[in-house]
Structure 1
């Protein structure tokens, strides 16, 4: 990475020469500008290093550092609260009882949110009670950008999110999407807070998170390229 001395126009690699006393033997003829890098070869003057809305990962950090940028203005981390609904939920470590299941969705979603760089508040389990659930969600309305829940979105008596949304004074954006699993997802807004309610089925919760919640979170973070890449595939067996 050193500068080329004045009057020289090529570089011979040290590993390509043979030492003979105080001299070296070069076993080939060097060509002008061999092993030579021009100034600006990596990044030319006035080149845009990073575009607005581009996520900064390790390679982007390296580019910024290589050009001497110690600081850069970024969007703040998205603030997200996450909870699961259901009287049947137990925390890992508690004794398993008949009619109960462990609250795996909470940790799936919280872990994925942290992977995405969000500032996560883990609320925990919320009972199948419309008023109580609405009270919990409302308490975060002015503190988070997104309230994410799993469970309570289908058509059963304990699918409370249909009652929670109006109890919050929120505007429902949609209920049910044309996909499987995860069709009964709900999205709503209350003031500046977005709410997304996913299915309680773990696989459905994960699928709808990746297809709906993840792009929304990316947009809230200021990113512009938020959708998953699409690929055309051919089934080997219909």
Structure 2
């Protein structure tokens, strides 16, 4: 049995690489950039007004009040040609309007008084006031976002404004999910005596969808060696990641490890010194990585959050270490002697703004009821680990 960090290291060293693909920026929400995204033109695109007001030559408004005739009006719209501002005149201009040639200042309308075709400037302003200069934010060819950035609505808007009509992103991972167990019945199906409704399929599917990588399939597999073989062989052929639940312990019907290896999979690890989720099995076959998750729902949750999410982030070119945060430990803390304990908890800020952890009841591996309140999965070092426990590392269950 190996420790959590060793398990993470072994998985990181065996991950399949996801290729890059080019897609339209409008379709990139939630995807991860595979290369730097650059501006196709400067931002702002041209010299423009930052307010509704009047474009002037600063030399004409150094002494106020001063009245200037209006020579033109510039709306925020397409222009046949760039207007030129004659000396001793002003141009009515609106927010985003193209600054006339020879204008070097904008006086916002709150500082003026308009009468017919003339405007009186009532207050002096500094040269260059309320202008947005071409390229002052980003020059043409500047980096808008680095490789590994996830495309949020804000980044998508920035890419659109920067003229990036296409972006390079990592291909979405293909994920196949296998739910084993003759006692497990798909959600919503009638139950017979001795059967239980499936929680793992909905849990895995929802968790992956929340991360932006929904599974391509969720299949139910009987506790027979031939059924497991058929399901695993098919999943290996079509998926980058294969996630199974159940069938990885030492029972007579736990076929996942043995069948995977008969199919040519190379074992990376089996059993991690952690609770819950100890009988985790991970193997690689060709370009596919198999995560054999234990059958208890809390064990599935732990291994999804800690190992599967770590693998997904790395495959997409992101640093999974950024997910980990710190909070002050509770006064009373349950610890295992030689295992990392994964605690479902509530993290909240105290009156001083410090993050603190609140433990919840119902921490057994078959229990999920406390997830209605929990927002964090907390790493509690074993008694044999030389780590401080006044502050603890944790993962958000909702990021």
**Pairwise TM-score range, normalised by the shorter structure:** 0.7 to 0.9
Alignment check: 8 A CA contact 2:113 2:122 kept: no
What residue in structure 2 maps to residue 49 of structure 1?
144
User: Could you give the per-residue CA deviations for residues 109-132 of structure 1, whole angstroms, max 9, x where no partner exists?
Assistant: 123223333363223211122331
1:203 corresponds in structure 2 to 298
Alignment deviations for residues 116-159 of structure 1 (CA, whole Å, 9 cap, x no partner)? 33363223211122331122110232221111111222333333
Contact 2:178 2:231 in 1 (8 A): no
Answer with 106-115 or 64-73: which moved more: 106-115
Report the equivalent of 1:235.
329
Is 1:129 aligned with 2:129? no
Give the deviation of 1:213 after TM superposition.
0.8
Moved over 6 A (4+): none
Tell me the SS of whatever aligns to 2:131.
coil
| Greater displacement, 160-169 / 187-196 | 160-169
Contact 1:11 1:35 in 2 (8 A): yes
Tell me whether 1:173 sits opposite 2:268 in the alignment. Answer: yes
* 1-structure distance, mates of 2:272, 2:166: 42
Local SS of the residue matching 2:144: coil
Question: Would you say 1:111 and 2:203 are equivalent positions?
Answer: no
Quick one: which of 215, 220, 228 aligns to 1:120?
215
Cross-structure match for 2:244: 149
1:33 matched to 2:120? The reply is no
Contact kept in structure 2, 1:54 and 1:225, CA below 8 Å: no
SS of alignment partner, residue 11 of structure 1: strand
SS in 2 for 1:32: coil
C-alpha deviation, 1:21, in angstroms = 4.0
- Say whether the 8 Å CA contact 1:144–1:193 is kept in structure 2: yes
Distance 1:133 1:163 in 2: 10
Provide the C-alpha distance between the structure 1 equivalents of 2:241 and 2:194, rounded to a whole number of angstroms.
Answer: 31
TM-score (normalised: structure 1): 0.86
Long gaps (5+) in structure 1: none
Gaps of 5+ in 2: 1-95, 333-399
Asked if 1:8 is matched to 2:103, the reply is yes
Contact 1:89 1:103 in 2 (8 A): yes
> Matches of residues 179-198 of structure 1 in structure 2 within 5 Å?
179-198=274-293
- The counterpart of 1:224, out of the listed 306, 309, 318, is 318
- From 151, 157, 160, the equivalent of 1:65 is 160
Q: Do the aligned partners of 2:205 and 2:214 also contact (CA within 8 Å) in 1?
A: no
Which protein is bigger by CA-based radius of gyration? 2
Instruction: Provide the alpha-carbon RMSD of the alignment.
Output: 2.4
Aligned-residue offset at 1:79 = 0.9
After the TM superposition, which of the residue ranges 49-58 and 71-80 deviates more from structure 2? 49-58
Give, in whole Å, the separation in 2 of the partners of 1:235 and 1:113: 29
Which one has the bigger strand percentage? Answer: 2
How far apart in 1 are the matches of 2:303 and 2:186? 23
Q: How many residues align?
A: 236
Alpha-carbon distance between aligned partners in 1 of 2:120 and 2:190, rounded to the nearest angstrom:
77
C-alpha displacement at 1:176, in angstroms? 1.8
Kindly state the Cα deviation for residue 195 of structure 1 after the two structures are TM-superposed. 0.6
Normalising by structure 2, we get a TM-score of 0.54
